Amino acid sequence: MRPVAVVGIGKTAFGAFADRDLRSLAVEAGQKCMADANVSPSKVEAFYLGNFAGPSFVGQNHLAPYIAGAMGITGVPCTRFEAACASSGSAFFHAVSAVGAGLYDVVLVGGVEKMTSQPTPKVTEILAGAGDMLGEGRAGATFPALFAMIARRHMYQYGTTREQMAAVAVKNHANGAKNPQAHMRKVITIEQALAGKPIAEPLTVFDCSLISDGAAAVLIAPLERAAEFTNKAAKILGIAQTSDQVALDQKDDITTFRAVQSAGEKAYKMAGVSPNDIQFAEVHDCFTIAEIIATEDLGFVKKGEGGPYAQQGCTALNGPRPVNTSGGLKAKGHPVGATGVGQICDVVVQIRGDAGERQIPRHSIGLAQNLGGSGATAVVTILGAA
At 276-335, the pLDDT tens digits run 999 999 999 999 999 999 999 999 999 999 999 999 999 999 999 999 999 999 999 999
Q: Is the pLDDT of residue 273 over 90?
A: yes
Share of the chain above pLDDT 70, in %: 100
Is the predicted pLDDT of residue 237 greater than 90, yes or no? Answer: yes
pLDDT, average across residues 235-253: 97
> What average pLDDT is seen over the chain?
97
> With 90 as the cut, is the pLDDT of residue 386 above it?
no
pLDDT tens-digit series, residues 199-208: 999 999 999 9
The helix/strand/coil state of 110 is: strand
Q: Determine how β-strand 203-204 pairs with β-strand 213-222.
A: unpaired
Looking at residue 281, what is its pLDDT?
Answer: 98
Q: Is residue 85 over pLDDT 90?
A: yes
Q: Quick one: pLDDT band at residue 120, thresholds 50, 70, 90? A: very high
Q: Is the peptide bond before 144 cis (omega within 30 degrees of 0)?
A: no
Residue 219 vs residues 8, 107, 286, 289, 310: alpha-carbon distances, Å: 5, 6, 26, 32, 33
The residues spanned by each domain of the chain are: 4-119+212-234, 139-208+237-385
Asked if the domains 4-119+212-234 and 139-208+237-385 are classified in one and the same CATH topology, the answer is: yes
Q: For residue 334, indicate whether it is catalytic.
A: yes
Look at residue 248 and tell me whether its pLDDT is greater than 90: yes
Q: Which residues pair with 380 in a beta bridge?
A: 240, 369
- Cα 307 to Cα 44, 129, 297, 314, distances in angstroms: 44, 29, 13, 10
- Write the CATH number of the domain with boundaries 139-208+237-385: 3.40.47.10
What digits encode the pLDDT tens for the residues 133-183? 999 999 999 999 999 999 999 999 999 999 999 999 999 999 999 999 999
Strand 203-204 and strand 198-200: the pairing is: antiparallel
CATH 3.40.47.10, applies to 4-119+212-234: yes
Q: How far apart are CA 48 and CA 25, in angstroms?
A: 16
Q: What is the mean pLDDT of residues 361-366?
A: 97
Catalytic residue (choose from 33, 334, 345, 363): 334
Give yes or no: 85 in active site. Answer: yes
Rounded CA-CA distance 210/327 in Å is 12
Residue 274 has a pLDDT of 98
How confident is the model at residue 288, as a pLDDT? 98
pLDDT reading at 96 higher than 90? yes
Per the residue annotation, which of 33, 85, 208, 345 is the catalytic one? 85
